């Protein structure tokens, strides 16, 4: 079985946002898969996806703090600045974290670890809604 769906995520403020439950709730087709894979791809260059700790909210704050220090705004060597000081850093952060993740599916659910969750990593100050493409395969 193969299935693909585009999901529009709500606009969120800059930061790291757990979206595991939101994505699963948009995929009733998951229930039909006893064993398979979900490939999740974000269709943007200034936001990314990752899997990380989902229990302690300070993890999200630490991610944002770390990436802001690692990839600062207004670096004097940036040339791509026409869309504001957060634009080029957003592209760099997205390139570092990546535009897709793959998650195993077992018995109709994402098979994540006890403390793992899927994150939308929003790197722009004033982002619009984001689109992801989810491709499911399995039996």
List the domains of the chain with CATH numbers.
Answer: 2-73+82-126 (2.60.120.460)
Query: How many Å apart are CA 82 and CA 31, to the nearest integer?
Result: 45
pLDDT on residue 102: 98
The predicted model scores a pTM of 0.96
Query: How many Å apart are CA 9 and CA 6, to the nearest integer?
Result: 10
Element (H, E) at 24: helix 20-25
Query: How many Å apart are CA 46 and CA 92, to the nearest integer?
Result: 8
pLDDT band at 65 (very low <50, low <70, confident <90, very high): very high
Q: What angle do CA 124, 130, 136 make, to 5 degrees?
A: 135
DSSP state of 34: S
């Amino acid at each position: 079985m193969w299935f693909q769906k585009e999901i529009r995520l709500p606009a969120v403020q800059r930061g790291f946002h757990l979206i595991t439950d939101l994505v699963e709730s948009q995929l009733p087709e998951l229930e039909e898969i006893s064993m398979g894979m979900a490939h999740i791809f974000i269709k943007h260059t200034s936001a990314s996806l990752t899997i990380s700790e989902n229990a302690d909210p300070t993890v999200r704050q630490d991610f944002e703090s770390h990436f802001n220090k690692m990839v600062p705004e207004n670096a004097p060597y940036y040339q791509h600045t026409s869309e504001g000081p957060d634009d080029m850093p957003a592209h760099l952060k997205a390139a570092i974290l990546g535009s897709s993740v793959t998650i195993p599916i077992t018995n109709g659910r994402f098979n994540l670890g006890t403390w793992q969750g899927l994150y939308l990593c929003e790197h722009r100050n004033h982002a619009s809604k984001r689109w992801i493409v989810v491709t499911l395969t399995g039996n």
